[in-house]
Chain A
């Protein structure tokens, strides 16, 4: 066995070992709102965006809105960052972050990343002729 191959194999195995070892730490598990309340670390919560609750909080420069998960539980998300472009039309989001409290002592979910899936982006159901009376926008 020559030296180069030994070093090569060593580098590959150390790097891959390290990667696999740190794999678990860098994954953020999905959970529901009840699970997020129990969790002590970062989680991802998926839920329906309640658009009528959306507002921009000037004090802490955050987008605040409520989401509702599959079990009907609701929580307010406080997201500090640029509003995702497709947010306004997105039906649901997965928020990455942790449960915390805001300045008023309310329980909120502090989020640093929102994964927003936009229904209209690559909508296979785009059709020029809707079955409703209103043809506004599609004539």
Chain B
């Protein structure tokens, strides 16, 4: 006990030190804000500025210390800490580089850790901000640092440094096996045990953290009435947010696609939406900033959007973290401490109300530009429409995501809207977006000569029409194939169908139109990229991003509308099944049976089902050699060593066979079932039923049920006598321990072994109290069950276009960011008039 107390004292010291670093972070942040404020008063005095910077450095170092302490506890599996106990476990200690990363990644597996990750990124980005802010430093930094201050305050209330309480001496006396610290943690959630866990959260939190920069700049711009000077400085950050949030969303989608087994990558889940609506707002801002920088104007909408995007992110954080949507989301975090919930509400109120009030107060003084609607055939108007369309999309997604919270206000039940709610209005918006993206490369700023515009558009337009005709024929054939495999009594199929208003013409037209316009977008923009790239390579970024978006639009609509799914059950020793031209055959199980669970179907932690696939003739080599391959859909069984059969948690992981034109997506539709020999004609209940005194020939063995035995209330069993083919007599006494919650006993029959050396098994499942009939799961060499594997197979056409499109779009955005960052470096610290770019037609300047 004394040893335990000293261990606890040591942990308390570490925890207190950790909490102290958070306090220091908060105090230094406040002091730094004050110092920056004072430095504004004394403009000539550089010393106050230096003090403020030094204090900011101290804030960052404190946060870094907090993070390092927590990370070292998590990596070191110090289960004296409650957070460590809850979020990680010893099953992560496995050879390989990835598992070291995973052990570290468990640091951000929970609420507290992910807040800490966000704070850490915010501190790091802050260095970039004050280093590059020039004369804006003292104006921007206080607002930026206030966000870090709020985060530190949340971390004080929602501390990751709680300790596991030390049980009393009595407890240890009653539980001789108990130890302090606990030997193992609750374990990292199995769906997080994945390499994406090491990279997706840091990326998306980087994006979130960088959202505060445009916000701080916009607030500073409003306060000091400097409505144009902030744009060139903030553009690199807006593009950085746009790219990191974009790639983060993509990673999340791909992670879901790869592991969740429902063959989709986007589910309109609140957690996804919470990153998506800030992305839409910040992307709208990027377009607005391009207009403001190149042509002037849009100062009102840009300052608003910068504040709005940050506020939306706070809203998203609140919705997903506070537990208000816990019943609706698949990844909802649990609820958090009330105090930190109030702090999050305070953040939303302070930044939202104060930001909006400031904006409203300054609205009249922001110069507008009346020229934006001079000509509807102009790049100005196309960019304006981009902002409008993205704001609308953003509002729709926000409305849908908040519906479960807002509906009770109008006395309706809290329900999350279906995917149809989002898809219906977003489809026409996407079509409009694609149209503007498709024509904008041929538009010039201010005013475009309509004739010139049309003459430039004519080639891509006709190519688009050609592609449209191809799409009509393609969709017709895809529809036929879809109808051939779809079971119209399946409610899932009916649901998809109803989403289109059961109208095949609407569906076909929408798909063909969006694909064609997506094609036009990709084509027009790549033509311009090619042209621009030769003279000003950096200026091609924005257009390149549009190429990616166009490709992605085609991929999304085609892969979702014409994916085809079906389920087949493969049985061990059964026939091969054919789906979508591919033939599937059960090959084997790869898991190793655990010694404590003889012949138990659960096998080990990493169960794979090897399925032999024969592709259709078109994909087979013509030289006649059979070209088949194996795929491995699998399921993890967690806690196998310790949990009872009922408590085992499964996680399925699909196998994806990638082709250029489609994915073959194969997952286990349900757990693979081990079929024990059974009397049940429907094979739903395992086990054979033997009456007392009955003898039955099971394969080559004669099995007799001699008599029941046991102690009432403690143990009951069935005494079996087995005659082997070589005329040996073996006794088996499978039993049930009633005291230990009906757990099976004596299931192994070591005298009888199969060719692989596995013992025969008899498990008593039920002993009828009246008739003494015994239900026994029995497996003997040559007389045993087999596996039945329900496979869900999905043929997903063109899905690669989604991933390719996203990667191109992100690359383009990053290129644009580099360009804007280089431009910002050339800025002088003296206020300048916005540079109006010359209205060149031959070389339209890129955003």
- Where the two chains meet, the residues of A that have a C-beta atom closer than 8 Å to any C-beta of B are 2-8, 11-12, 15-16, 18-19, 22-23, 25-30, 42, 44, 51, 55-56, 58, 61, 63, 80-83, 85-86, 88-89, 94, 97-98, 110-113, 115, 117, 120-124, 126-129, 133, 135-139
Looking at the complex, which one of B261, B413, B424, B646 makes contact with A29 (CB distance below 8 Å)?
B413
Indicate if B417 sits at the interface (CB-CB under 8 A). Answer: yes
- Flag B141-159 by CB within 8 Å of A: 1 or 0 each: 0000000000000000000
Whether A138 and B652, one on each chain, are in contact in the complex, defined by CB atoms closer than 8 angstroms, is: no
CB-based contact B389/A11 at 8 Å? yes
A82 proximity list for chain B (CB < 8 A): 261-262, 652, 667-670, 792
Further 8 A-B residue pairs, CB within 8 A, beyond A4-B380, A139-B179, A139-B184: A4-B373, A4-B376, A16-B395, A58-B790, A126-B186, A138-B182, A139-B182, A139-B183
What are 6 pairs between A and B in contact, CB < 8 Å? A25-B420, A61-B790, A82-B261, A97-B491, A128-B85, A129-B171
Assess whether A30 is in contact with B415, with CB atoms less than 8 Å apart.
yes
Contacts of B380 in A (CB 8 A): 4
Residue among A98, A128, A133 making CB contact with B174, cutoff 8 Å: A133
Chain B, Cβ-Cβ closest to A103? B489
> Which 4 A-B residue pairs are closest in the complex by CB-CB distance?
A4-B373, A2-B373, A122-B334, A61-B567
Residue of B nearest to A136 (CB): B642
Asked whether A22 lies within 8 Å of B424 as measured between CB atoms, the reply is: yes
Q: Are A58 and B186 in contact (CB under 8 A)?
A: no
From B334, B335, B649, A89 is in contact (CB under 8 Å) with B649
Of the residues B177, B421, B643, B788, contact of A23 by C-beta under 8 Å:
B421
The answer on a CB contact under 8 Å between A128 and B182 is: yes
Alpha-carbon gap, A15 to B191, bound state (A): 37
Q: CB distance A44 to B186 under 8 Å?
A: no
Q: Is B693 close to A, CB under 8 A?
A: no
Contact B490 A80 (CB under 8 A): yes
Please tell me if the beta carbons of A4 and B381 are within 8 angstroms of each other in the complex: yes
Q: Which residues of A contact B98 (CB under 8 A)?
A: none
Q: How far does the alpha carbon of A134 sit from the alpha carbon of B444 in the complex, in Å?
A: 76
Interface size on B, residues (CB 8 A): 87
User: CB within 8 Å of A: which of B661-693?
Assistant: 667-671, 673, 683-684
The answer to whether A126 touches B86, judged by C-beta atoms less than 8 angstroms apart, is yes
Q: Which stretch of B54-62, B325-333, B837-845 is in the interface?
A: B325-333
CB distance from B128 to the nearest CB of A (A): 34
Pair A22/B421 contact, Cβ less than 8 Å: yes
Contact yes or no, A81 B262, CB < 8 A: yes
Q: Which residues of A contact B643 (CB under 8 A)?
A: 137
Known contacts being A27-B417, A128-B182, is A81 close to B492, with CB within 8 Å?
yes
The reply to whether B420 and A112 form a contact with Cβ atoms under 8 Å apart is no
Within residues 154 to 171 of chain B, which ones have a CB less than 8 A from any CB in chain A? 164, 167, 171
B569 within 8 A of A: yes
Give chain B's interface residues, CB within 8 Å of chain A.
79, 85-86, 110, 164, 167, 171, 174-175, 177-179, 182-184, 186, 189-191, 260-262, 326-328, 332-335, 370, 372-374, 376, 380-381, 384-385, 388-389, 391-392, 395-396, 399, 403, 412-413, 415, 417-418, 420-421, 424-425, 428-429, 432, 490-492, 494-495, 567-569, 639, 642-643, 646-652, 667-671, 673, 683-684, 788, 790, 792
**B646 and A51 within 8 A (CB):** yes
Residues of chain A within 8 A of B424, CB atoms compared: 18-19, 22, 26
Contact B568 A61 (CB under 8 A): yes
Question: Is A15 a contact partner of B418 (Cβ separation < 8 A)?
Answer: no
Q: Select one of A6, A55, A94 contacting B684, CB under 8 A.
A: A55
Partner of A26, one of B417, B490, B792: B417
- A56, B391: Cα distance in complex, Å: 46
Neighbouring A residues of B395 by C-beta, 8 Å: 12, 16
B777 to chain A, nearest CB (A): 16
How far, in Å, is B610 (CB) from chain A's closest CB? Answer: 20
Q: Is there an interface contact between A19 and B567, defined as CB atoms closer than 8 Å?
A: no
With both chains docked as a complex, state the minimum distance between the C-beta of A46 and any C-beta of chain B, in angstroms. Answer: 9
Nearest-CB residue, chain B, relative to A129: B167
Q: Is the CB of B391 within 8 A of A12?
A: yes
- Complex contact B389–A85 (CB within 8 A): no
Of the candidates A12, A15, A22, A136, the one having the most CB atoms from chain B within 10 angstroms of its own CB is A15
- Once the chains are docked, how many angstroms separate the CA of A124 from the CA of B392? 38
- The residues of B that contact A126 with a CB separation of less than 8 Å are 85-86, 186
B355 to chain A, nearest CB (A): 21
User: With A8-B384, A129-B171, A133-B174 given, is the CB distance from A19 to B396 under 8 Å?
Assistant: yes
C-alpha spacing A74/B184, complex, angstroms: 40
CB–CB A11/B652 < 8 A: no
Q: Is the CB of A117 within 8 A of B326?
A: yes
Using Cβ atoms and an 8 Å threshold, which residues of chain A touch B86?
126
Distance (whole angstroms) from the CB of B89 to the closest CB of chain A: 11
* Neighbouring B residues of A120 by C-beta, 8 Å: 649
Cβ contacts under 8 Å, B413 to chain A: 29-30
CB-based nearest A residue for B110: A122
The residue that A56 contacts in the complex, of B262, B639, B647, B790, with Cβ under 8 A, is: B790
* Residues from chain B with Cβ under 8 Å of A5 in the complex: 372-373
Q: How far is A115 from B262 in the complex, measured between Cα atoms in Å?
A: 13
Contact indicator B182/A137 (Cβ below 8 Å): no
> B448 to chain A: closest CB distance in Å?
14
**Using Cβ atoms and an 8 Å threshold, which residues of chain B touch A27?**
403, 412, 415, 417-418, 421
Question: Per a CB cutoff under 8 Å, which of A2, A8, A55, A122 touches B333?
Answer: A122
Please tell me if the beta carbons of A121 and B417 are within 8 angstroms of each other in the complex: no
**Whose C-beta in chain A lies nearest to the C-beta of B415?**
A27
A137 touches B385 (CB 8 A): no
Complex contact A29–B568 (CB within 8 A) = no
CB of B486 to closest CB in A, whole Å: 12
Cα–Cα, bound, A18→B421 (Å): 10
Inside 8 A of B189's CB, which chain A residues have their CB? Answer: 121-122
Collect the chain A residues with CB atoms within 8 Å of residue B651's CB.
85
Choose from A15, A85, A115, A138 the contact partner of B650 (Cβ within 8 Å).
A85
Nearest CB in chain B: distance from A5 CB, A = 6
A136 neighbours in B (Cβ, 8 Å): 642
* Contact across chains for B85 and A12 when beta carbons are under 8 A apart: no
Whole-angstrom CA separation of A113 from B262 in the bound complex? 11
Q: Roughly how many angstroms separate A29 CA and B333 CA in the complex, as a whole number? A: 24
Q: Give the Cβ gap from B229 to chain A, nearest Cβ, in Å.
A: 25
Whole-angstrom CA separation of A97 from B179 in the bound complex: 49
Closest to A139 in B: B177
Contact residues in B for A138 (Cβ distance below 8 Å): 182, 184
* Chain B residues whose CB sits within 8 angstroms of the CB of A22 once the complex forms: 421, 424-425
Give B425's nearest chain A residue, CB to CB: A19
Distance in Å: Cβ of B281 to nearest Cβ of chain A:
14
B491→A111 contact, CB < 8 A: yes
A58, A113, A122: the one contacting B569 at CB < 8 Å is: A58
> With the chains together, A136 CA to B396 CA distance in Å?
50
Please indicate the chain A residues that have their CB under 8 angstroms from the CB of B167 in the complex: 129
Do B175 and A133 touch (CB < 8 A)?
yes
Judge whether A8 and B385 touch: CB under 8 Å. Answer: yes
Looking at the assembled complex, report how far the CB atom of A106 sits from the nearest CB atom of chain B, in whole angstroms. Answer: 14
Q: A8-B384, A26-B417, A61-B567 are in contact. Are A15 and B425 (CB under 8 A)?
A: yes
List the A residue with the shortest CB-CB distance to B413. Answer: A30
